[in-house]
Amino acid sequence: MNYQLIPKELRSIAEKVEANERISEADALTLYGTNDLNALGMIANVARERKNGNYATYIHNRYINYSNICILSCQFCAFAAKKRDAHAFEYAIEEIVQAVGDALPLGVTEVHMVGGLHPSLKKDWYLDLLGRLRALDPQLHIKAFTAIEVRHLAQRVFKMPIRDTLEILRETGLGSITGGGAEIFDPVVRDQICRGKETADEWLDVHRTWHSMGGRSTCTMLYGHIETLANRADHLRQLRQLQDETGGFTGFVPFAFEPTQSHGILVNIKRASAFEQLRNLAVSRIFLDNIDHLTAYW
């Protein structure tokens, strides 16, 4: 690393990263505070090359939302609907299986499937869906359901402990769970943007349970709304802490808040700039030293 291109306030952090030492939450805040994107990128590049060399990868998958009908009313969400809403939808199992079946000849290896917290779909519906997708191709990886959906299924649909619910889902075909629903872990922010949604501890506990069963998952962060930089650093810290404990996260997906169709306190927020998105990716790559992959959200 050319330290002449690194400003003085970042050099001690750069030295830590080059020495493969862990940076602190305070260091993350310092990185978030810099406007020197080139220097930040140089530091992040050291972490990236150490993890993955000069390779980037992708998965050819079919992304499916089985329904947007949801019992929650998160302020940031432009996706969810109530059954009476004009934009509400719910695909039949046959439609979902057909869509995935049509994609198999194109070379997809994974189906990524999430939906809202549906108020009336039954246990057999979910199990039939997984079973029929598995029957299409035993090699197809089924990545489905957020931790929030898993809790909903356990408490309201299957009516059994989370671990038992996950075991049944896995036996039926579930390969991994998705990282959605993390948003920002800070409880004050969470209360303002997604009141009624599970807490950070509850989100983390679902992933901890799944990892303890040998399962893998991704993790996420929704940024660029009312959260502070300290909230972001704390969110990253909690993800890194769980990864230290379980090693079950395959990748981290930071995605910027999309203000279109948001409401309440979020309605006038501008979308995070390209500069801010790159800075957040770089800080995340540096801080999450125990997570191999970062996703540039499509």
117-140 residues labelled b (16+ CB within 10 A) or e (exposed): bbeebeeeebbebbebbbebeeeb
Using one digit for the tens of pLDDT, what is the confidence trace for 112-148?
Answer: 999 999 899 999 999 999 999 999 999 999 999 999 9
Number of Cβ within 10 Å of residue 91's Cβ equals 16
* Predicted confidence (pLDDT) at residue 282 exceeds the cutoff of 80: yes
The confidence score (pLDDT) of residue 260 equals 74
* Predicted confidence (pLDDT) at residue 288 exceeds the cutoff of 70: yes
Could you tell me which of 229, 234, 205, 63 has the C-alpha nearest to residue 147?
Answer: 205
Which residue is listed with tokens 């995070």? 272
Q: How far apart are CA 189 and CA 170, in angstroms?
A: 33
Q: Which of 65-74, 176-185, 197-206, 259-268 has the lowest mean pLDDT?
A: 259-268
Query: Interior CA angle at 73 toward 224 and 185, to 5°?
Result: 45
Dihedral sign for Cα 124, 127, 130, 135, please.
negative
The confidence score (pLDDT) of residue 82 equals 85
The confidence score (pLDDT) of residue 261 equals 64
Position 269 confidence tier, pLDDT thresholds 50, 70, 90: confident
Position 262 confidence tier, pLDDT thresholds 50, 70, 90: low
**Quick one: average pLDDT of 163-186?**
97
Question: What Å distances lie between residue 234 and 33, 109, 219, CA to CA?
Answer: 15, 34, 14
Which residue is listed with tokens 């952090």? 13
Could you tell me which of 252, 215, 250 has the C-alpha nearest to residue 237?
Answer: 252
pTM assigned to the model? 0.94
Position 110 confidence tier, pLDDT thresholds 50, 70, 90: very high
Could you tell me which of 286, 285, 216, 271 has the C-alpha nearest to residue 249?
Answer: 216
Using one digit for the tens of pLDDT, what is the confidence trace for 13-36?
Answer: 999 999 999 999 999 999 999 999
User: Phi and psi (nearest 5°) for 224?
Assistant: 90, 30
